[in-house]
């Protein structure tokens, strides 16, 4: 079975074509600058191809992807008919779409109704789905939501303590994001330690440019750090993470900023970039810190502390912990962050083997637990696209 996985962003369209029998990626790539020029990078194994193309919208970008996938020079299939199903990454499923779903007219209609609470990711995701429905009307399409892993979170952990009508009428609540990644790595952790997921309490740390931490008890998410939007939680590349909300109104009152301006500050100019003044890329912040830059050193401390605090609170919520998982760009690659997060955590049973942590093997589940420690600590490479392909295969085969 061949499954095309699509991830539409506001100006991008990422794709991967999977051969499910061998879990192999036949080809993958990215369309960028959609609506403002256009550029495609396409990979087949080690061969890479790129081209400037005019992409006025996601539909035209998708046409280009399909023609490359079928092309003689760079293609991997003879015709579009070989694609058995398409899986779409959709960031937000709102309150109703609690699990991955076959795309029907009513699913698309519901996604349109929740654009107000998902203004950045909703429109491009819907555009990607509509483009696919138009170009491949007979191929089953599946939507996989970042939020659906959190359908098991209880109301006492998703309702904010603001007047209840804002939840009832405006749907303001914690939704949580990155759920496909947390679901994937929690299942992989269970496989790696050879125990049923039902018997494990774990905390999964997805630390990338956007970061989130999830408490997973018995395979079910019980709490997560991102909230109404991906803004809440740990310090991120350019996002502040959790702050006192009065900072927003204070900035608006004293500086005359508009709502949009404050949102841009907190979303695009804060986090690692905002505090360090150097970069949203943690590698650059570390380089500056090593040269003695105070703000870079402070940034790293803020980041690490924001992660530690959440781990501690989730241990308290679950009354224990069996495994701690690190994943995504920072979690999978930055030994120093893992070491600092796990430092002085022996009270909770978290202790890592610093040699194994520093000399880890990339790209595979890797155990960095100190011998005899109570809590297993692992690096698990995430693979959201493969998780989407698996869900798509399951639903399309029904
Ligand atoms: P996104 O959330 O956009 O998918 P990533 O998961 O790639 O981002 O995470 C980006 C962060 O991961 C950056 O701060 C970067 O420093 C770090 N990172 C990514 N790859 C590496 C690497 N090979 N070595 C060290 N750090 C990395």
Select from 167, 160, 159, 178 the least CA-distant residue to 121: 178
In angstroms, the CA 236 to CA 248 distance is: 18
Q: Which atom of ligand 1 is nearest to the CA of 281?
A: 14
Helix 294-318 crosses helix 335-342 at what angle (to 10 degrees)?
Answer: 60
Nearest Cα residue to atom 7 of ligand 1: 329
Beta carbons of 8 and 128 less than 8 angstroms apart: yes
In angstroms, the CA 222 to CA 155 distance is: 10
Write down the mean pLDDT value for the chain: 97
Residue percentage of the chain with pLDDT more than 90: 98
Q: How far is CA 350 from the centre of its chain?
A: 25
Please give the C-alpha separations between residue 206 and each of 203, 217, 328, 329, in angstroms, as whole numbers: 10, 17, 5, 8
Q: Which atom of ligand 1 is nearest to the CA of 328?
A: 6
In angstroms, the CA 182 to CA 325 distance is: 9
Lowest-confidence pick of 120-129, 219-228, 231-240:
120-129
Q: What is the DSSP letter of 398?
A: -
| Beta bridge partners of residue 213, listed in sequence order | 205
pLDDT tens digits, one per residue of 134-143: 999 999 999 9
Ligand 1 neighbours by CB, cut-off 6 Å: 208-210, 237, 281-283, 328-330, 333-334
> Which pLDDT score, from 0 to 100, does residue 251 have?
97
Q: Is the pLDDT of residue 10 over 90?
A: no
Q: E strands, the chain, where?
A: 2-8, 13-19, 24-32, 39-44, 47-52, 85-90, 101-102, 141-145, 201-207, 211-217, 220-224, 323-327, 366-367, 376-379
pLDDT tens digits, one per residue of 338-387: 999 999 999 999 999 999 999 999 999 999 999 999 999 999 999 999 99
Rounded average pLDDT over 76-99: 96
Q: Which residues contact 363 (CB under 8 A, 6 or more apart)?
A: 381
Q: Is the pLDDT of residue 6 over 90?
A: yes
Question: Of 54, 84, 138, 146, which one is the catalytic site residue?
Answer: 146
**Angle ∠(225,207,266) on CA atoms, nearest 5:** 60
Select from 80, 219, 176, 56 the least CA-distant residue to 137: 80
Confidence of residue 266 (pLDDT cuts 50, 70, 90): very high
Considering the entire predicted model, what is its pTM? 0.95
| Beta bridge partners of residue 379, listed in sequence order | 326, 366
Rounded average pLDDT over 84-88: 98
pLDDT tens digits, one per residue of 43-67: 999 999 999 999 999 999 999 999 9
Residue 146 a catalytic site member: yes
Nearest Cα residue to atom 1 of ligand 1: 209
**Angle ∠(225,283,367) on CA atoms, nearest 5:** 65
Beta carbons of 323 and 200 less than 8 angstroms apart: yes
Nearest Cα residue to atom 22 of ligand 1: 333
> Which pLDDT score, from 0 to 100, does residue 398 have?
82
Q: Which atom of ligand 1 is nearest to the CA of 362?
A: 23
pLDDT tens digits, one per residue of 294-329: 999 999 999 999 999 999 999 999 999 999 999 999
Rounded average pLDDT over 266-292: 97
Beta carbons of 175 and 167 less than 8 angstroms apart: no
In angstroms, the CA 304 to CA 94 distance is: 31
pLDDT tens digits, one per residue of 209-222: 999 999 999 999 99
């Amino acid at each position: 079975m061949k499954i095309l996985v699509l991830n539409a962003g506001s100006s991008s369209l990422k794709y991967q074509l999977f051969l499910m029998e061998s879990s192999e990626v036949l080809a993958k790539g990215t369309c960028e600058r959609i609506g403002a020029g256009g550029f495609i990078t396409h990979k087949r194994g080690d061969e890479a191809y790129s081209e400037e193309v005019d992409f006025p919208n996601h539909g035209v970008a998708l046409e280009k992807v399909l023609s490359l996938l079928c092309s003689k020079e760079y293609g991997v299939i003879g015709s579009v008919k070989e694609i058995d199903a398409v899986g779409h990454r959709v960031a937000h499923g709102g309150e109703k779409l609690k699990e991955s779903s076959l795309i029907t007219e009513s699913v698309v209609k519901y996604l349109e109704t929740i654009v107000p609470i998902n203004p950045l990711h909703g429109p491009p995701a819907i555009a990607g789905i509509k483009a696919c429905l138009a170009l491949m009307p007979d191929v089953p399409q599946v939507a996989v939501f970042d939020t659906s892993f959190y359908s098991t979170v209880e109301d006492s952990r998703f309702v904010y303590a603001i007047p209840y009508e804002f939840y009832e009428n405006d749907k303001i609540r914690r939704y949580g994001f990155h759920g496909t990644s947390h679901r994937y790595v929690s299942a992989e952790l269970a496989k790696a330690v050879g125990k049923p997921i039902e018997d494990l309490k774990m905390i999964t740390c997805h630390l990338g440019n956007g970061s989130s931490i999830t408490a997973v008890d018995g395979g079910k998410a019980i709490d997560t750090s991102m909230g109404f939007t991906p803004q809440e939680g740990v310090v991120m590349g350019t996002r502040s993470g959790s702050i006192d909300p009065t900072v927003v109104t204070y900035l608006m009152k004293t500086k005359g900023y508009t709502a949009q301006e404050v949102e841009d500050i907190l979303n695009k100019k804060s986090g690692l970039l905002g505090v360090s003044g150097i970069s949203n890329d943690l590698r650059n912040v570390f380089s500056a810190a090593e040269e003695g830059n105070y703000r870079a050193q402070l940034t790293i401390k803020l980041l690490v502390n924001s992660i530690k605090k959440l781990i501690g609170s989730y241990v308290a919520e679950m009354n224990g912990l069996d495994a701690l998982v690190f994943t995504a760009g920072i979690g999978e690659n930055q030994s120093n962050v893992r070491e600092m997060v796990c430092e002085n955590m022996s009270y909770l049973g978290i202790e890592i083997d610093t040699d194994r942590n520093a000399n880890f093997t990339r790209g595979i589940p890797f155990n960095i637990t100190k011998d005899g420690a109570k809590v297993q600590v692992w690096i698990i490479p995430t693979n959201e696209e493969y998780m989407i392909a698996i869900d798509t295969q399951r639903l399309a085969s029904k």
